[in-house]
């Protein structure tokens, strides 16, 4: 009797694993490539399918409640976001700085802010900071990153290297 009771559980677990392979075989962080099953299992175990370590980003567009706004060169100081190898992040806009810890779980991201300044520098930064603390989704390619909350806002970033090629080199004090 005990063996019969275990079989439905085994079948349920097997079905769940097959379902996970179907659901997670393509994630928003896999850079457009399909994951092999062994990579999928490894990513589920490690819970990290987006490698943000050492990446540097510049906010180029934001969409809040369906209204898009592009970064413009007359903003002078762009908003940056850098992810470090020790799961910390730092960002900057003009005299403002922010930092904290991050965790990526599949296509989900969690930012835990530990420091943030609030020197008024205009609507572009203020609206960004008001929303960035609420992000929970990430989509990543080689030169773009999108952060969102699934509903009311989307932040589109380009790599710092692409930004500097397309616009201008960031000042030295933008060292992260």
- Residues of the chain with pLDDT > 70: what percent? 65
Over the stretch 135-168, which tens digit does the pLDDT of each residue have? Answer: 999 998 889 999 999 778 899 999 999 998 988 8
168-97-74 Cα angle (round to 5): 35
Indicate the average pLDDT of the chain.
74
Over the stretch 78-91, which tens digit does the pLDDT of each residue have? Answer: 899 999 988 999 99
d(CA 29, CA 31): 6
Q: Is the pLDDT of residue 29 over 70?
A: no
- The sign one gets for the Cα dihedral 118, 138, 134, 60 is positive
pLDDT at 25: 31
Domains in the chain and their CATH numbers? 2-46 (no CATH), 56-166 (2.40.128.270)
pLDDT at 114: 93
pLDDT at 85: 85
């Amino acid at each position: 009797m005990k063996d019969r009771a275990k079989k439905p559980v085994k079948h349920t677990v097997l079905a769940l694993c097959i379902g996970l392979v179907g659901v997670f075989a393509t994630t928003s962080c896999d850079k457009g490539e399909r994951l092999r099953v062994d990579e999928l299992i490894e990513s589920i175990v490690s819970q990290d399918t987006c490698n943000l370590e050492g990446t540097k980003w510049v906010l180029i567009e934001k969409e809040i409640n369906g209204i898009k706004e592009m970064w413009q060169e007359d903003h002078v100081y762009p908003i940056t976001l850098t992810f470090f190898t020790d799961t910390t992040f730092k960002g900057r806009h003009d005299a403002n700085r922010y930092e904290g810890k991050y965790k990526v779980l599949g296509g989900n991201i969690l930012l835990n802010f530990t420091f943030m300044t609030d020197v008024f520098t205009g609507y572009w930064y203020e609206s960004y900071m008001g929303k960035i603390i609420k992000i929970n989704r990430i989509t990543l390619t080689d030169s773009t990153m999108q952060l969102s909350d699934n509903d009311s806002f989307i932040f589109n970033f380009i790599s710092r290297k692409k930004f500097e090629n397309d616009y201008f080199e960031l000042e030295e004090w933008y060292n992260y």
